Amino acid sequence: MTRDSMNDQAATGPQASVPAAPAVLVVDDAATVRAYHSGILAEAGFAVQEAANGYEALELTLAERFALLVVDVNMPVMDGYTFVESARRDSIFPEVPIIMISTERHQGDADEAYRAGANLYLVKPVDSELLVFTAQLLTGRFAGTTAGTGS
């Protein structure tokens, strides 16, 4: 075995079997909120992209496949409800989980999010551990404890 072939094998060895980080799209018109949510999810091992409104989000979802969408409700150009309804109606990504996040605390707002097609509705400010936990659950990456093992 030559040195080059050993290097090639090393490069495709254990690292090749590591699954790619799930892609998450964070959609919010507030740059600070996008940065907050993106930072939390990136630190948890997700590959994060951002959009400032629903229209930008639609463009990104046509170009790339995402494992999870985290969407604000109130945004200019295209609000979160319209974005989610469009995405679900047009079957762009009917199976992709969507978390809608808003400052709106009324049950009617949550009901509207669910009618639009959201899988979960959270109220800002979102606890970072809750965001990571739900993102892991919805993308199948939760490595929780096993009952009785103490781990």
Overall number of domains in the chain:
1
CATH number of domain containing 58 = 3.40.50.2300
Q: Check residue 151 and give its pLDDT.
A: 40
pLDDT per residue over 13-42, tens digit each?
444 455 689 999 999 999 999 999 999 999
144 in any annotated domain: no
13 in any annotated domain: no
Band the pLDDT of 95: cuts 50, 70, 90: confident
- Please give the order of strands across the beta sheet that includes 23-27: 47-51, 23-27, 68-72, 98-102, 120-123
151 in any annotated domain: no
pLDDT per residue over 104-150, tens digit each?
899 999 999 999 999 999 999 999 999 999 999 999 986 553 333 34
Q: Check residue 117 and give its pLDDT.
A: 95
120 in any annotated domain: yes
1 in any annotated domain: no
25 in any annotated domain: yes
Residue 1 has pLDDT above 60, yes or no: no
42 in any annotated domain: yes
In the numeric block, the tokens 């739900």 are attached to 134
51 in any annotated domain: yes
pLDDT per residue over 46-58, tens digit each?
999 999 999 999 9
Range of the domain at 91: 21-139
